[in-house]
Chain A
Amino acid sequence: MQLIIDKAGKLYHGRNGKVWALRNFSLELRPGVLGLLGPNGAGKTTLMNIVATITRATEGTVTWNGADLQRDPDAVRAVLGYLPQDFGVYPNLNAVEFLQYFAAVKGLDAASARRRIDELLQLVNLADVRKRPLGGYSGGMRQRIGIAQALLNDPQLLIVDEPTAGLDPEERVRFRNLLSDLSGDRIVILSTHIVSDVEATATEIALISGGALVAHAPPEELLRAAEGRVWEWVIPSAELGAAKQRYLISGAVRRADGVHVRLLAEFAPAGAVPVAATLEDAYLHCLSTHRAHLAEAQAK
């Protein structure tokens, strides 16, 4: 099982001219969870749309187990589960009918579909409201029916874009556990801004910025890169503004003795103590290093 993205690019023709949402992007994936991280507009959704065969890459190739998706998109569609960031439901159908419809669209036979739908409704905790029209579902419930839809065909490639958006903490933890359980024998691409979701589930992380791949590594490797550069510094409230100007600050908590600032820097400010890097620190470090390199290259 292998997904290879080779020098993929996507050019959009907007009112303000041409924009490359993704450029020269290469990635090779094997079973496991890939956490896709990046700032807004980095190209994450474009990348997922290309892999999910929603849109065609302007350049480069995407192959699934050797099959070129440009020529044979159904090669991946048959084994794909996709949960887009924004999706709608048919409001007059209930959960069972909605999933039965998608089971038919995905080509599942009736008996398999019935069993699978029962299991999925249990899994996403919607069994009690299975006969209720989806038009009456809350945002979180719709998100869960979307998750069930994505898992209907037991996908080998699961792409989920902001899957925990709108879920309550309990459901979010359930979904993270589910992703971890599923990742053994399939490729999961998880795009989210919630770094803790990636921290809990991802076996690899791809960091995208400006349509380019900034880093692709296991979380431990990214953490190692940030190690020794994260500090905690206690300063008076009045100095917080100046500190923000000078350092890359990843967090600040007000306590009785002042503001406990968490910052990223090559060298510690006077009085700061080193702390263990989190994935959020590693993400910020990686991005700031990338931007510094870009600025340097432009200056030259």
Chain B
Amino acid sequence: MMRVRVLYHLARADFLERVRRYSFLLILAFAAGLAYLTFIGTITLQLGEYRGVYNSAWVGSMMTLIGTAYITLAGFYMVKNTIQRDGQTRLGLVLATTPMSKSIYTLGKALSNFAVLAAMVSVLAVAAVILQLARAEGGSLEPGRLLAPFIWVALPAMAITAAVAVLFETLPVLRGGVGNVIYFFAWSTYLGLSGVTGVNDYLGLGFFMRRMVGALKLIDPSYNGGFALQVGPLAHATKTFLWNGVDWTPQLLLGRLQWVAIAIGIAWLSALFFHRFDPAREGRHRNKESPEPAEERRAPTAPIAEIHLTPLKRTARGSQFPRLVVSELRLMLKGHAWWWYLVAAGLFVASLAVPDGQARHAVAGFAWIWPVLIWSQMGAREARHETQKLVFSCAHALDRQLPAVWVAGVVVAISTGGGLGIRLLIGGNWPALSGWLAGALFVPTLALALGVWSGSSKPFEALYTLWWYVGPMNHIPGMDFMGIARSQFSTQFYLLATMALLTAAYLGRRSKLGYA
């Protein structure tokens, strides 16, 4: 009983702390945004040329799928900070000294994550009611049919996401930006597989697909099996069919509940890796040296009087910008293992030397995902390391330090992706080269703007990875910032976007400087 009480209060306090932050409003706004895009028809669920009649079963199922497809991705990044926050606030050290077990802690954190994600699902559930009433084409509102998909599909999916977020936070390798990138690829691979196999996946995609496709084939045997949750101005459905929902048998419910059990298992498993805020374990992952011996080795203290501080000449300081860029560059690149540079160099050489154009572009694409964790620190580093007061109280923090960060980011883009740039230059392919250059300006600028405004590296890591995947990797028109699927329009668009983002970064930093 005591354990349940501890679990409840741990989750409750963590949830309340999150709810009372402004970022929670953004989380709800994201869910509301999804609902709005569905309402106006930008996000739709279609089976070939069919869509379901907007009755409770269809609306509930569609909103559930939208929720699981988007919230399990974006929501993961939104909640993957609960253990980190306890570390940053030093509250973790206090918690570590209590009798609370590691498994209760990880379960409590997963429960808090789940509550946040469930709040987002609730927004979609309310939106589903509004959507059905507004469309008024599928009869009366049936709360049971409308809400059942949320309860039996969306919530178990959120439970898995919540627990996986805790697991990632407890594993040293997955805790940071690498974990954010790995999650994206793991998630998108899983999504793809569940869509193909139609298994009882935790996202519910295969679960609904199998049943909806079966129902439609009974009505129209010529239906070819297309099933898509699509975004954007694609061809809208021209036909409708009646979907009466899922017959929630006990066997089905057990099948869905197994995901809740798996989520609890993952949260419990996380406890094995959770080091209870042990600074020695933290230090071992962060630094190769132990923190203590240096103090022991301290040299005999010299009297102050024997140490002379040479007065500084106050000289003109306008020419120090290049030094500042070099310093920012060093700050960006410091702390990576030797193999990081080796891979970056390999990608540079490969994108220069690979003869086949398609393969070369693929390699060049990887050359620009490789520094994602370097760019993602731009603009957010001061908040992350709590150096704002030191940096922002220096002269020209806005008109010198911020541009220096930007220039350093562009240097990283040009250096890592330079293989393709040189190749385009040698080949005299000027339109492609200008497209590539626009990309080299755009990527670090996006990172800087998101970093400045969010104070976190995660928004860029999540957005950029997604953008990179659909743009340079899958050549979706307009999304390819590398200029491979190029057009004059996209070059101009990315240059304009760069200017807009640079302005946003400037204004964002300006708002953070009290006197700016």
Contacts and interface: CB of A to CB of B under 8 A. Distances in A.
B298 A88 contact: no
Given A109-B315, A137-B294, A54 B307 contact: no
B387 A89 contact: yes
A105 B397 CA distance: 8
B295 interface: yes
A123 B307 contact: yes
Residue among A84, A93, A136, A170 with max Cβ neighbours from chain B (10 Å): A136
A160 B400 CA distance: 25
A28 interface: no
A136 B308 CA distance: 28
B514 A87 contact: no
A116 B310 contact: yes
B324 interface: yes
A43 to B, nearest CB: 16
Interface in B320-352: 320, 323-324, 326-328, 330-331, 334-335
A196 interface: no
A220 interface: no
A105 B309 contact: no
B317 interface: yes
Nearest to B512: A54
Given A52-B393, A119-B310, A105 B287 contact: no
A125 B392 CA distance: 27
A73 interface: yes
A108 interface: yes
Contacts of A141: 294-295
A86 B386 CA distance: 8
A107 B331 contact: no
Nearest to B399: A74
Given A55-B514, A88-B386, A89-B387, A107 B304 contact: no
A84 B309 contact: no
Q: Interface size class for chain B?
A: 35 or more
Contact of B385 (A90, A105, A154): A90
Nearest to B283: A136
Nearest to B289: A136
Nearest to A106: B394
Contacts of B186: none
B235 interface: no
Interface stretch (A75-83, A242-250, A251-259, A268-276): A75-83
Given A119-B310, A123-B304, A178-B304, A91 B389 contact: no
B509 to A, nearest CB: 14
Nearest to A92: B335
B309 to A, nearest CB: 5
A123 B302 CA distance: 8
Contacts of B397: 77, 105
Contacts of A154: 309, 311-312
B281 interface: no
Q: DSSP majority for the B interface? A: loop
B5 interface: no
B489 interface: no
A49 interface: yes
B3 interface: no
Interface stretch (A31-39, A96-104, A233-241): A96-104
Contact of B390 (A102, A109, A110, A174): A102
Contact of B304 (A53, A137, A177): A177
Contacts, number: 165
Interface in B365-416: 381, 385-387, 389-397, 400-401
A77 B395 contact: yes
A223 B142 CA distance: 79
B91 interface: no
Contacts of B334: 90, 92-93, 97
Contacts of B314: 78-79
Contacts of B324: 104-105
Given A82-B393, A154-B312, A177-B304, A90 B331 contact: yes
A80 B314 CA distance: 13
A87 B299 contact: no
A88 B386 CA distance: 5
Contact of A135 (B287, B292, B304, B394): B287
Contact of A107 (B307, B320, B328, B391): B320
A104 B320 contact: yes
Nearest to A178: B304
B291 interface: yes
Nearest to B384: A88
Interface string A164-197: 0000001000100110010000000000000000
A74 B320 contact: no
Contact of B320 (A56, A108, A115, A137): A108
A16 interface: no
Contact of B395 (A107, A110, A125, A146): A107
Contacts of A138: 291-292, 294-295
Contact of A170 (B287, B301, B320, B393): B301
A264 interface: no
B135 interface: no
Nearest to B309: A119
Nearest to B88: A88
A107 B289 contact: no
B290 A88 contact: no
Interface in A1-58: 15, 49-50, 52-56
Interface of A: 15, 49-50, 52-56, 69-70, 73-74, 77-80, 82, 84, 86-93, 97, 100-102, 104-110, 112, 115-116, 119-120, 122-123, 125, 127-129, 132-133, 135-138, 140-141, 146, 149, 151, 153-154, 170, 174, 177-178, 181
Given A122-B307, A136-B290, 10 more contacts: A54-B389, A80-B393, A88-B385, A91-B287, A104-B324, A107-B320, A107-B394, A108-B317, A116-B310, A123-B309
Nearest 9 Cβ contacts at the A-B interface: A88-B386, A92-B335, A107-B317, A73-B515, A77-B395, A55-B514, A154-B312, A104-B327, A84-B389
23 contacts: A49-B514, A54-B393, A69-B515, A74-B395, A78-B314, A82-B393, A104-B320, A104-B323, A105-B327, A105-B400, A116-B312, A119-B308, A122-B302, A123-B304, A125-B302, A127-B299, A128-B298, A136-B287, A136-B290, A153-B312, A154-B312, A170-B301, A174-B301
